[in-house]
Amino acid sequence: MGTRGATPAGGSASGGASEAPAAHPLVVAFNEFRDELVSTLVYMLGNRDDALDAAQESFLKCWRARETLGEVTNLRAWVFRVGMNTARDLQRSAWSRRVKPLVGEEHMLMARDTSPGLALEDQEDLDKLRRAIAQLRQDEKEVFLLRQNGDLTYEQIAEIRHAPVGTVKTQMRSALMKLRGVLAAGQPADAGV
C-alpha cells in the first residue's frame, strides 16, 4: 500500500493527511495511542505490516471525520473503534487471506531492568502470553485487547462490538482464564477450559 511506517504527523499524499497540522488534537491523540493501537491490530490481523497499514488507514478515516470531534466523548474509544472496524474490513478482503500468522514478534516491550536470568524467564512468559493471545477465539481476543491495550470500559467495548455488556464480560473472563492457565501451567491456550 505504500503507507507502512508512515506516521500521522508525517502525513501522506492520500486522503488529505498531508494537511494535518502536528498540533491538531486528533494528531496528538492518535500519536499517543498509536503503539497500543498497532499492538492490538497485530493480534487481530496476524502481522505487523498489515497492522501498520490498518493504523494508517484508521488515522485517515479519523482525519476525514475530524469535524465531528466535538461530538466524541472518548477519543481513545473512538480511535480504537475505527481501528477495529478497519481491521475487520481488512480481514474480510481477499487480499488479507494471504496474510501469514503471528509467530510471536516483538510487539510488547519489556520496560524494566532485571538480572539476565529473570529477564530470560520474563521473556519466556511473554512469549507464552503472545502465543496464548494469538490462540484465543476472535471475540475473546478482541475484547481482551480492547480492554488491556485500548484501556476501554466494558460498556465502550460492548458498544464497539455491538454486543451486550454481559457478553463482553463473559468473553473477557474466558480469555483471562485461558491466559492464566497458559502462564500457570505452560499448557496450550485452549486446553483445560
Q: How far apart are CA 31 and CA 55, in angstroms?
A: 11
Locate the domains of the chain by residue range: 17-98, 116-185
How far from 44 is each of 22, 41, 110, CA to CA, in Å? 29, 5, 21
Model confidence pLDDT, tens digit, residues 2-12 = 444 444 544 44
For residue 138, give the C-alpha cell. Answer: 476472535
Q: Do domains 17-98 and 116-185 have the same CATH topology?
A: no
Supply the pLDDT for residue 113.
Answer: 54
Amino acid identity of residue 140, one-letter, is E
Q: Which residues contact 142 (CB under 8 A, 6 or more apart)?
A: 44, 84, 161
Supply the pTM of this predicted model.
0.57
| CATH code, residues 17-98 | 1.10.1740.10
For residue 12, give the C-alpha cell. Answer: 501522506
| CATH code, residues 116-185 | 1.10.10.10
Q: Which residues contact 163 (CB under 8 A, 6 or more apart)?
A: none
One digit per residue, the tens of pLDDT, for the chain of length 193 reads 444 444 454 444 444 444 556 678 888 888 888 888 998 888 888 888 888 999 999 999 988 998 888 888 888 888 888 998 888 888 777 454 554 555 544 444 444 555 666 677 767 777 777 888 888 898 898 888 888 877 788 998 888 888 999 999 999 999 988 888 877 765 555 544 4
CB neighbours of residue 175 within 10 Å? 25
